Amino acid sequence: MENFMNLYKMIPKVDQILDNEIIKKLLEENSKNLIMESIHEELNSIRNNISNGCDEKVILNYIENLAKNIEKNLLNKKRLNLRKVINASGVVIHTNLGRSVLTNEILENIKDVSVGYSNLEYDLQKGERGSRYSHLTEIIKKITGAEDCMVVNNNAAAVMLILSTMAKGRNVITSRSELVEIGGSFRIPDVCRESGAELKEVGTTNKTHLSDYENAIDENTAALFKVHQSNFKILGFTESVTSTELKDLKEKYNIPIIEDLGSGVLIDLSKYGLGHEPTVQECISNGVDVVSFSGDKLLGGVQAGIIVGKKEFIEKMKKNQLTRALRVDKFTLSALEVVFSYYIDEELAISKIPTLNMLTIKIEELYNKAERFIDYLGENKEFSYEIIDIDSEVGAGSLPTQKLPSKAVKVISNSYTENELEEKLRNHNIPIVARIYKGNLIFDVRTIFENEFSIIKDALDSLIGE
Ligand SMILES: *Cc1c(COP(=O)(O)O)cnc(C)c1O
């Protein structure tokens, strides 16, 4: 009991703490209120530890390092919640980690139009009010071959706007194999209902025929609606109707075709050893009237929903009241303009857009990168490293069965289990999201940038002899 009271007496007074050199330095650069909060929190935590009967040595050590602990507490308080992490998971378009990655070149453009005023809705030629959507129209038309285009907040919003504009109070015909759920919250039947369109399901899970669509058409049918299966594949005994085949019905009954393409790729990825994904250009030239896709999946840009297709429909969408609620800001438009400009030249797009770059990088290059990474990490008494074969993933429900052979660096640790390591790295000041594979922590080098090697090294070095 006496000991217990002595411990309480060891706790410094606030005045003494404020006199500490470390704290004085903090006071020069930070608000006193915030520092006082940290001081009180740390003092409370010591008192709690004493009353909980915590080990005396631990408590004395804590008191000895009080100023440093207060500094740590303050830094934590000041740290923003949304921040950089390192993606060592090998999932290229990782929805939980922000999907596509931007470059400084793209950010420079966003900065240019954002630190001052911009011509967001001002027509510089005419000197009068303009449209925010006009900045992207020409480039998107040129690249996709579509008559017109429109950009909204994300692809879910795009589908909602399309259905609301073209099919409200009427029905759209969709195959049962395409009633997808994306990321847990976007479900085609629900989105349809919300938009005011009636979903008319046809066919079965594995087979849908052209005649299924044809038999379902009635005077109230607004469109034939195709949805990319995105995050799953139906294998085996299957049959589906392509948009090209639907064209016959479209002409016979004069009903437009709508397609939610999901990822929206603009380059034939099969040239780069990936599976073939229907491109936006193919959809348009196959006669789809309105196509929508995401801005931050395979396109490699920012969160947005891009709608391309027939002018008569897009113009109606621009007048829909929903458009005002779904509209994108200048950051989005500015980033997309740069990203689309790369697509004028396929090679440029592959080299400039990190998502495409990471998906098409050659295995030899990944091996070299893994070697450079191990060299960089250097030798130490705690960890050793080995290059292993691994499969990366495309992510974001794109090309779900695609195998992407990759190289990873396996960490062999003397004192940590793989789960301890995973947790410690995840809680590093710049969090590192790695994978556990066959009992070891691994870093898939595909999604790590070279300028992040040093951060990972710092994190690992800080764990040596902890
Ligand atoms: C990803 C996806 C969506 C949702 O796109 P967001 O841009 O995330 O809103 C909608 N439909 C399909 C088929 C998708 O793959």
Tokens of 86: 């390192």
187 Cα: distance to centroid of ligand 1 (angstroms): 10
pLDDT tens digits along 361-419:
999 999 999 999 999 999 999 999 999 999 999 998 778 788 899 999 999 999 999 99
Using CB atoms within 10 A of its CB, is residue 228 exposed (0-12), middle (13-18) or buried (19+)? buried
pLDDT tier, 7 (very low <50, low <70, confident <90, very high otherwise): confident
Rg, C-alpha atoms of the chain: 28
403 Cα: distance to centroid of ligand 1 (angstroms): 21
pLDDT tier, 444 (very low <50, low <70, confident <90, very high otherwise): very high
172: Cβ contacts below 8 Å, ≥ 6 apart: 163, 192, 197, 198, 199, 200, 221, 222, 223, 224, 225, 258
Buried b (16+ CB within 10 A) or exposed e, 431-465: bbbbbebeebbbbbbbbbeeebbebbeebbeebee
Buried b (16+ CB within 10 A) or exposed e, 336-355: bbbbbebbeeeeebbebbbb
Closest ligand 1 atom to 294 CA: 7
pLDDT tens digits along 341-361:
999 999 999 999 999 999 999
- Cβ atoms of 251 and 212 within 8 Å: the answer is no
CA 432 remoteness from chain centre: 16
Give the orientation angle of helix 418-426 with respect to helix 453-461, to 10 degrees: 120
Q: Decide whether any atom of ligand 1 lies within 6 Å of the 226 Cβ.
A: no
- Cβ atoms of 442 and 392 within 8 Å: the answer is no
- Cβ atoms of 329 and 295 within 8 Å: the answer is no
String of DSSP letters for 20-32: SHHHHHHHHHS-H
Closest ligand 1 atom to 296 CA: 7
Which pLDDT value is given to residue 246?
92
Q: Decide whether any atom of ligand 1 lies within 6 Å of the 335 Cβ.
A: no
Give the orientation angle of helix 104-114 with respect to helix 330-342, to 10 degrees: 140
Q: Decide whether any atom of ligand 1 lies within 6 Å of the 294 Cβ.
A: yes
For ligand 1, atom 2, the nearest C-alpha belongs to: 262
263 Cα: distance to centroid of ligand 1 (angstroms): 7
Q: Decide whether any atom of ligand 1 lies within 6 Å of the 262 Cβ.
A: yes
Closest ligand 1 atom to 397 CA: 15
pLDDT tens digits along 172-228:
999 999 998 887 678 999 999 999 999 999 999 888 999 999 999 999 999 999 999
CA 91 remoteness from chain centre: 10
Q: Decide whether any atom of ligand 1 lies within 6 Å of the 305 Cβ.
A: yes
Q: Decide whether any atom of ligand 1 lies within 6 Å of the 230 Cβ.
A: yes
For ligand 1, atom 1, the nearest C-alpha belongs to: 262
Query: Comparing C-alpha atoms, which of 317, 461, 449, 322 is closest to residue 378?
Result: 461
Which pLDDT value is given to residue 240?
87
Which pLDDT value is given to residue 466?
65
Which pLDDT value is given to residue 430?
95
Which pLDDT value is given to residue 361?
96
Query: Comparing C-alpha atoms, which of 220, 240, 210, 223 is closest to residue 159?
Result: 223
Backbone CA torsion sign across 329, 331, 334, 340: negative
pLDDT tens digits along 236-286:
888 888 888 999 999 999 999 999 999 989 999 999 989 888 999 999 999
Please name the residue that has the structure tokens 């030629």.
125
Q: Decide whether any atom of ligand 1 lies within 6 Å of the 156 Cβ.
A: yes
3-state secondary structure of 147: coil
For ligand 1, atom 6, the nearest C-alpha belongs to: 155
Q: Is the pLDDT of residue 2 over 60?
A: no
- The Cβ of residue 392 has, within 10 Å, a number of other Cβ atoms equal to 25
Q: How far apart are CA 396 and CA 270, in angstroms?
A: 19
pLDDT tier, 319 (very low <50, low <70, confident <90, very high otherwise): very high
Q: What is the mean pLDDT of residues 92-117?
A: 96
Query: Comparing C-alpha atoms, which of 91, 7, 101 is closest to residue 394?
Result: 91
261 Cα: distance to centroid of ligand 1 (angstroms): 8
Q: What is the mean pLDDT of residues 313-340?
A: 96
Using left for φ > 0, alpha for ψ between -120 and 50, and beta otherwise, residue 135 falls in alpha
Q: Tell me which DSSP letter residue 102 carries.
A: P
Q: How far apart are CA 462 and CA 466, in angstroms?
A: 7
264 Cα: distance to centroid of ligand 1 (angstroms): 9
- Whole-prediction pTM value? 0.91
Q: Decide whether any atom of ligand 1 lies within 6 Å of the 186 Cβ.
A: yes
294 Cα: distance to centroid of ligand 1 (angstroms): 6
Beta bridge partners of 181: 187
Which pLDDT value is given to residue 257?
97
Q: How far apart are CA 36 and CA 23, in angstroms?
A: 10
For ligand 1, atom 3, the nearest C-alpha belongs to: 262
Q: How far apart are CA 52 and CA 399, in angstroms?
A: 53
Closest ligand 1 atom to 229 CA: 13
State the maximum Cα–Cα separation within the chain, in Å, rounded to a whole number.
Answer: 95
182 Cα: distance to centroid of ligand 1 (angstroms): 6
